[in-house]
Chains A and B, each alone.
Chain A
Amino acid sequence: MIEINATIIAQIINFLLLVALLRAVAYKPVARLLQQRSDKIKGDLDHAEADRKEAEKTLEQYKAQLSDAHKKAQEIVDKANLTARQEHDAAVAETRKEIERMKQTAQAEIENERNRAFEEMKSQIVTLSLAAAGKVVSKNLDTKENDKLVNDFISSLDKNMFADLK
């Protein structure tokens, strides 16, 4: 029952043959496949990581652009506000100046008008006084002396009576 013969050599050769065949038929393809899969997973992960970084970068750019745009818009609005205020101030100042100018013109006109009225009144008073005085004292006074007399009178009037009119 226990007898060692050449079968032992045959069995060793058989087994080595089996291992060689198994290695070629089954083990290598499976091991290669496992390697392939782990490579693929690793590649995919790397790819995903790269994609994520890319997306982050893009997002960062977009954010920067957005804040830039915000800033620019704010600047434009500020500028517009400033311009409007300046224009408004300018318009107000112009209007004030206009009003001032008109006031001055009106005052000058009033002054002129009053002076003119005063002169007119003065001459009419002279004429009227002369006429009146002439009629009263036509007999004893000559014209020259009368004029002087009346003018003196008017001048004294001028000084005393029209002082508060001025």
Chain B
Amino acid sequence: MHEIGVRETINLFGLTFNIETLKMTWLAMGIVLLIACLATRNLKVVPQGWQNFVEMIILWLHDQIDAMMGKRGRMLAPFIVGLFMFLLASNLIGLVPLMASPTNDLNTTLGLALLVVVIVHVLGLYFKGGHYIAHFFQPTPVFVVINMIEEIAKPITLAFRLFGNILAGEILIIVLLKLMPIWMPIPSVCWLAFSIFISCVQAVIFTMLSMAYLANAVKEDHAE
């Protein structure tokens, strides 16, 4: 990020793209895929080394999904693990000098949030049909307004929370580097460490909230 708030854009087919965001997204995707390939090549029935770690993550995720979403949630497991790994990689590469997080662009976060919300509604309609629409009008039809506001707020809060955290982290790194003399690295190092923590936490939060929203749509209703 060279100038705060100014993005390089290119025009393609009459559409405008933020080229830096796209480049960084592809980089993050490449990192995620590389890690995934390295971790899962040479799989054995008797696990060894890294395979233990990967299996541990997937089993933990399966447990979480089973607990939150029931058996239908299993088909969303690749989506959720992909979301988490992509967000983690995206958040963290922004902390490398001369690079930027794809998640410091609202286009990325809002895109992901909208994707999650669309999946929630599509799966909700698919699995529950009429009940899914009816539950917006409960307990009384008046509540449809509040429910609608809630549904609209979901993607917006998801998107802006992540976007704001990551963008603020990167801006403050630049500000601190410019503000402090070169022999005084302590504040920027502290902030960098905090940013690493924030990057992980925000990836977890986004993923967990997405899981909670998805669970709402996918989980079998025991009451009915």
A-B interface, 8 closest residue pairs, ranked by CB to CB distance from nearest:
A26-B36, A6-B15, A7-B107, A23-B78, A11-B111, A1-B5, A19-B82, A8-B107
- Shortest Cβ distance from B21 into chain A, in angstroms? 6
Bound Cα distance A1, B55 (Å): 40
In the complex, which residues of chain B have a beta carbon less than 8 angstroms from the beta carbon of A5?
9, 15-18, 107
Bound Cα distance A30, B4 (Å): 42
Q: How many cross-chain pairs have Cβ atoms below 8 Å apart between A and B?
A: 115
A-facing residues in B1-23 (Cβ within 8 Å): 4-5, 7, 9, 15-18, 21-22
> Is B107 a contact partner of A4 (Cβ separation < 8 A)?
yes
> Is B45 a contact partner of A22 (Cβ separation < 8 A)?
no
Chain B residues within 8 Å of chain A by Cβ, number: 44
> Is B82 a contact partner of A11 (Cβ separation < 8 A)?
no
In the complex, which residues of chain A have a beta carbon less than 8 angstroms from the beta carbon of B192?
none
Please report whether the interface of chain B is mostly helix, strand, loop or mixed according to DSSP: helix
Taking a contact as CB atoms closer than 8 A, the residue among A1, A22, A34, A40 that contacts B33 in the complex is: A22
Bound Cα distance A76, B25 (Å): 93
In the complex, which residues of chain B have a beta carbon less than 8 angstroms from the beta carbon of A19?
78-79, 82-83
Bound Cα distance A11, B105 (Å): 10
Bound Cα distance A141, B21 (Å): 189
B-facing residues in A1-39 (Cβ within 8 Å): 1-12, 14-19, 21-23, 25-31, 33-34, 36-37
> Is B26 a contact partner of A14 (Cβ separation < 8 A)?
yes
> Is B33 a contact partner of A21 (Cβ separation < 8 A)?
yes
Residues of B participating in the A interface, judged by any CB pair closer than 8 Å: 4-5, 7, 9, 15-18, 21-22, 25-26, 29, 32-33, 36-37, 39-40, 43, 45, 54-55, 58-59, 77-79, 81-83, 85-86, 102, 105-108, 110-112, 114-115, 167
> Is B85 a contact partner of A11 (Cβ separation < 8 A)?
no
B-facing residues in A111-156 (Cβ within 8 Å): none
Q: Which residue of A lies closest to B15 (CB)?
A: A6
